[in-house]
Amino acid sequence: MSEAVKHRRAALRARRAARGGLALFAALWVAAPPAARGAPPAGAAACSGCHAPVPGGAIPSLQGLSATDIETAMTAFRSGEREATVMDRIAKGFSDEDIRTIAEWLAANREQALRPTQP
């Protein structure tokens, strides 16, 4: 193999790798939108008022739940598919978009989000 061919192949590989990296970066960016970090989205601050950070209380902890778990539960509460005492009414106040944003934020900021408001 000539040096020129070798060089061209290496350049091609590098370009391919760069494209792959960019696609991965874009995918990660979409998976974790800026709203998932930083200040709580509207509605999310209220959740910690009832949901304590540690399991064992009367109200289930959200600590072990992923964003998808929270989203699925909220949607089921809202539709009435899942029985609830209060979560059905709370969930009805949120759109699909709100629920997704809140769920992602809670999952990404659990320490801060699920701190008890009363010590």
Token digits of residue 20? 């792959």
Residue whose structure tokens are 């950070």: 53
- Among residue numbers 1 through 40, which ones bind ligand HEC (CB under 6 A)? none
Binding ligand HEC by CB under 6 A: which of 75, 84, 108, 109? 84
Toward ligand HEC, which CB reaches closer, 9 or 117? Answer: 117
Report the alpha-carbon distance of residue 91 to residue 27 in Å, rounded.
Answer: 29
59 near ligand HEC, judged by CB under 6 A: yes
Report the alpha-carbon distance of residue 77 to residue 89 in Å, rounded.
Answer: 8
Q: Report in angstroms the alpha-carbon separations of 4 from 8, 9, 10, 76.
A: 6, 9, 10, 61
Toward ligand HEC, which CB reaches closer, 3 or 64? Answer: 64
Q: Which residues bind ligand HEC (CB under 6 A)?
A: 43, 46-47, 49-51, 59-60, 62, 65, 70, 73-74, 84-87, 90, 102, 106
